[in-house]
Structure 1
Amino acid sequence: MALSNAEIASRYGQALFDVAESKEITSQTTAELAELQAVIKEQPDLLVFFASPQITNEAKNEMLHGLQTNASQLVNDFLQMLFDYGRIQNVSEIIDEFNRLNDEKNGTVRVKVTTAIELDDDQKAKLSAKFAQVVGANKVILEPVVDGSIIGGVILRSKDNIYDGSVKSKIDKIKRLLLN
């Protein structure tokens, strides 16, 4: 029975996290995986390349060695294992799972912040601190998104919560009340 992508991500992400934690190199591994994730986002065809049956294993191995350049032994072994077991196309989901486990351990919450205008650093810091208090997190990492259609205010989306303080949602609520 084949494993689902979620099961693959969960198993490999947990294993990678456990090894990094046991070697006390979680922060270094997190940084390396962020670089790898950035490369994959910049070159989305990279994973298609590895999955393609038309491309020789020799060419895939050469590309893999390019990805492994300047990586730690753990990340090198991780990438090689994924390649050897035909799981390299799942690398993004596995990295996401690793990051989720690391965030959970460190009390970090990632939040998508939607505003009508760009927030300055001071506003981001205040919003981050306030949201950390509300959800009881040690650290909040903001992912800012600018969307003029919300008119004003802010929408905060974390894994478990959505706080909608946008002007658009307030107008929509007033409309519903008036129509009823």
Structure 2
Amino acid sequence: MVAHRYGKALFDLAEEHDIRRPLLEELTELKGIFEEQPELNVFLTSKQISYLDKVKMIKLLTKTASQTVTNLLNMTFDYGRICNLDAIINEYIRLNDEFERTVRASVVTAIKLEDAQKERLASSFAGVVGAEKVYLDEKIDPEIIGGVVLKSNSYIYDGSIKTKIARIKRLLLK
């Protein structure tokens, strides 16, 4: 709920000031920093760390940041919502994807796909879900034997050999 309100307000502000794309890039970079340094979130929320040390860290994080990101970090820190920062950024990314008609999906295959295969898969999937662009996060799982499993927020397609074998097995056991 908090993430939705903050993310929506941030997105509306970005739209109003025509900074939607640059803000997306900056927020994605900030999200990466927190993912690479998980202890940063612990540091900023810990009761054992002094308020002044936390303020110094926020200043360090905002040293090269835009005014919008600086305001976001300061506000979430001041209101005790810094722990929601990742969810706020995720909501902003979701709203931006919706605006750009972009879908992020994971694709699981038994072997690594070639670039041409990924492009065809992304193009086909875009047609199915009505998106203009599809970003595929590729994962390899030899246990699916063959085929492909595609998952996005609103769609799951399981065309793996493992699932087909399981389906046949269920039919034979009836």
TM range (shorter): over 0.9
SS at match of 1:112: strand
Q: Which amino acid letter does the alignment assign opposite residue 10 of structure 2?
A: L
Matched, 1:103 2:97: yes
User: Which residue does 2:70 correspond to in 1?
Assistant: 76
Alpha-carbon shift at residue 40 of structure 1 (Å): 1.0
What aligned pairs does 1:115-130 form with structure 2 within 5 A after superposition?
A: 115-130=109-124
Matched, 1:41 2:35: yes
Q: Which amino acid letter does the alignment assign opposite residue 120 of structure 1?
A: E
Matched, 1:152 2:151: no
Give a deviation string over 1:139-174, Cα, whole Å, max 9, x none: 111111111111111000010110000010001101
Q: Distance in 1 between matches of 2:60 and 2:170?
A: 57
Q: Distance in 2 between matches of 1:168 and 1:69?
A: 51
Q: Distance in 1 between matches of 2:85 and 2:111?
A: 34
What aligned pairs does 1:1-180 form with structure 2 within 5 A after superposition?
A: 7-180=1-174
Alpha-carbon shift at residue 69 of structure 1 (Å): 2.4
Alpha-carbon shift at residue 70 of structure 1 (Å): 1.7
Q: TM-score, normalised by structure 2?
A: 0.97
Alpha-carbon shift at residue 51 of structure 1 (Å): 1.0
Q: Distance in 1 between matches of 2:73 and 2:117?
A: 39
Q: Distance in 2 between matches of 1:160 and 1:123?
A: 22
Q: What is the count of residue pairs matched by the alignment?
A: 174
SS at match of 2:91: helix
Alpha-carbon shift at residue 72 of structure 1 (Å): 1.0
Q: 5+ unaligned residues in a row in structure 1: which ranges? A: 1-6
Q: Distance in 2 between matches of 1:90 and 1:120?
A: 37
Alpha-carbon shift at residue 66 of structure 1 (Å): 1.8
User: Which residue does 1:3 correspond to in 2?
Assistant: none
After the TM superposition, list the runs of 4 or more consecutive aligned residues in structure 1 that deviate by more than 2 angstroms. none
SS at match of 1:111: strand
Q: 5+ unaligned residues in a row in structure 2: which ranges? A: none
Give a deviation string over 1:38-97, Cα, whole Å, max 9, x none: 111111121111111110111111111221122111111111111111111110000010
Q: Distance in 1 between matches of 2:116 and 2:60?
A: 40
Alignment RMSD, CA only? 0.9
